Amino acid sequence: MQTELEIFREFIRSKGLRQTPEREIILAEICRKREHFDVDELFLRLRGQDKKISKASIYRTLPLLVECGLIREVNFVDGHWHYEQIYGQPHHCHLRCLSCGAMVEFEEPRLAAVEAELSRKHGYQIIKHVLEVQGYCPHCHQKSSARDEEAKHV
Ligand SMILES: [Zn+2]
Ligand SMILES: [Zn+2]
Ligand SMILES: [Zn+2]
């Protein structure tokens, strides 16, 4: 299996772009700590390590990393995209709390059967699916039921 860096360098070459150390530092940080992130979080992580990377270069680099399949857009929340590293990782879907934003990652093998069924029925060659299930986590759910209870007793 090729490393992330090899894939990225090949991709940059194939696009006729110039290889820059900034882009590689950004990629290395994303691979070092595999978790969901947005531009601001990544910027702060890099700054915490005294890496002088501008937000502008993060904004420019992330679409390239998406395009070559190393990361993916997870969701558009609070007015901006959130990402995660996916290369070499098993596929997963997300369960997201609409109140606090907490996310649970899960795998659902039955979705493979849904894909196969869709392929058969509509003649599509299936590449992927994107699924986000939304609701309220136990903590937020409890808080809001407590609020409802209080309202009843006023
Ligand atoms: Zn899935
Ligand atoms: Zn919550
Ligand atoms: Zn995830």
The closest of 1, 57, 56 to 25, measured between CA atoms, is 57
38 and 49: one domain? Answer: yes
CA dihedral 131, 137, 138, 143 (to 10 degrees): -150
- CATH number of the domain at 7, please: 1.10.10.10
Ligand nearest to C-alpha 142: 2
The number of the ligand nearest the C-alpha atom of 107 reads: 1
Domain-terminating residue out of 72, 89, 106: 89
Statement to judge: residues 11 and 51 lie in one domain? yes
Residue 85 shares a structural domain with residue 101: no
The answer to whether residues 23 and 42 belong to one domain is yes
Q: Are residues 5 and 63 in the same domain?
A: yes
Domain end, chosen from 32, 63, 89, is at: 89
| Amino acid code (one letter) for 28 | A
144 CA from centroid of ligand 2 (Å): 10
C-alpha pair distances (Å), 121 with each of 83, 90, 127, 129, 131: 32, 26, 15, 16, 20
Same domain for 82 and 10: yes
The two three-digit tokens of residue 7, written as one number = 């894939």
Rounded to the nearest angstrom, the distance between the alpha carbon of 94 and the centre of ligand 2 is 14
Q: Are residues 98 and 152 in the same domain?
A: yes
Distance 104 CA to ligand 1 centre (A): 12
Does 146 lie in the same domain as 119?
yes
**Cα 111 to ligand 3 centre (Å):** 17
Residues with CB under 5 A from ligand 2 (ion): 97, 99-100, 102, 137, 140
- Say whether both 15 and 52 belong to one domain: yes
Average pLDDT of adjacent 10-residue blocks, the chain of 154 residues = 95 95 96 93 96 96 97 94 95 96 94 96 95 96 84 73
pLDDT of amino acid 40: 97
Same domain flag for 19 and 35: yes
Instruction: Report CA(146)–ligand 3 centroid distance (Å).
Output: 30
Q: Length of the chain in residues, anyone?
A: 154
* DSSP code at position 37: B
Q: What is the CATH number of the domain that holds 103?
A: 3.30.1490.190
Query: CA 148, CA 154: separation in Å to the nearest integer?
Result: 10
Q: How far is the CA of 138 from the centre of ligand 3 (A)?
A: 19
- Number of domains composing the chain: 2
Identify the CA nearest to 85 among candidates 1, 14, 5.
5
Q: Look up the domain containing 21 and give its range.
A: 1-89
Give the CA distances from residue 95 to residues 19, 28, 84, in Å, rounded to whole numbers and listed in that order. Answer: 37, 27, 15
How many angstroms is it from 109 CA to the middle of ligand 1? 8
Using the 3D structure, point to which of 40, 59, 89 is the last residue of a domain.
Answer: 89
Question: What is the whole-number distance in angstroms between the Cα of residue 74 and the centre of ligand 3?
Answer: 7
